[in-house]
Amino acid sequence: MLDRAITDYVASAPHFVKEIPGQLSDRELRFLALMGACPLAAGEILSIGCGMGQAAIVFAKAARLAGEMRVSAIDPLETKFYRTNLTAIEGNFQKAGVSDIIDFHHVFPEEISDIWDRPLRLLWLGCEHSPEGAETDFDEYCEHLTDGGIVAFQNAVKRRDGGLVVFTEDVLLDEHFGAAGVCGSVAWARYHKDPDVARKFRDQKSTLYQCLTPLIPFVADGQKRSWWSRLSLKLHERRIPHQEFEPESWLRNVA
């Protein structure tokens, strides 16, 4: 049974970042808190793409609850998708009381990927990504996932974001990833060094793959589409099981 402090934090996580602009829904923030507060592997949390700091703050508070002393975050703060002020994000970390635990790198992820040597229990690919950017960040950092670690993509079912392509083709079709799912627009999967451990989740991944692949034509490019095309996208999205998870049930199901 989960500690009461963890279940209370998961339930209240959105409250801690309610004043910070961001794209994450309350449901998604609670899921991030759950992944952060319940380590399933050795290593630390790495958040790539911070925006104004919503995810990093939720992860930092969760990691502290789990007895960890560091969460790493990487963001150049200026891309073709968004621009963030360094003073503002540092101020948000300070107000949330997590500036001492967040190791923030103000660079593009590829600038430090060659020297990155920290094992990861949770790799978060957040904010907006092009298909190429999502592929690059995933390829460069997923090798640091430890056995049982989790990779998660923000906006994986959002139009124009590249996380969906990487998740469907590079994660769901990889024999080393086992339990997988979607919560809101967050897609996640658990990595196993031994593919035999992941094999029991093959049918689950296949079903999810069949639900997600029809969305790829809608998100792989930024072209403006007709109302009929947008309606079709909405119908496909409704087929995706992306409900909120009950914490203890989720932990049992990913094991």
Domain, as residue range, for 227 = 4-254
The answer to whether the beta carbons of residues 251 and 3 sit under 8 Å apart is no
What pLDDT is stored for residue 123 in this prediction?
98
Q: What's the whole-model pTM score?
A: 0.91
**Continuous segment of H or E residues that includes residue 164:** helix 163-166
Cα separation, 193 vs 145, whole angstroms = 9
Give how many domains the chain has, as a whole number.
1
Q: Give which of 88, 107, 108, 90 is closest to 99, Cα–Cα.
A: 90
Nearest to 177 by CA among 149, 155, 156: 149
User: What residues in the chain have per-residue pLDDT under 70?
Assistant: 80-82, 127-129, 158-161, 218-239, 241-242
Q: Say if residues 166 and 140 touch (Cβ distance below 8 Å).
A: no
Identify the bridge partners of residue 189 per DSSP, sorted by sequence position.
Answer: 151, 180
What CATH code is carried by the domain that includes residue 98? Answer: 3.40.50.150
Q: What is the DSSP letter of 200?
A: G
Residue 215, pLDDT score? 81
Q: Please report the pLDDT score of residue 208 as a whole number.
A: 93
User: Under the phi-then-psi rule, with left for phi > 0, alpha for psi from -120 to 50, and beta for the rest, what region is 16?
Assistant: alpha
| pLDDT value, residue 206 | 96
Secondary structure letter of residue 151 according to DSSP:
E
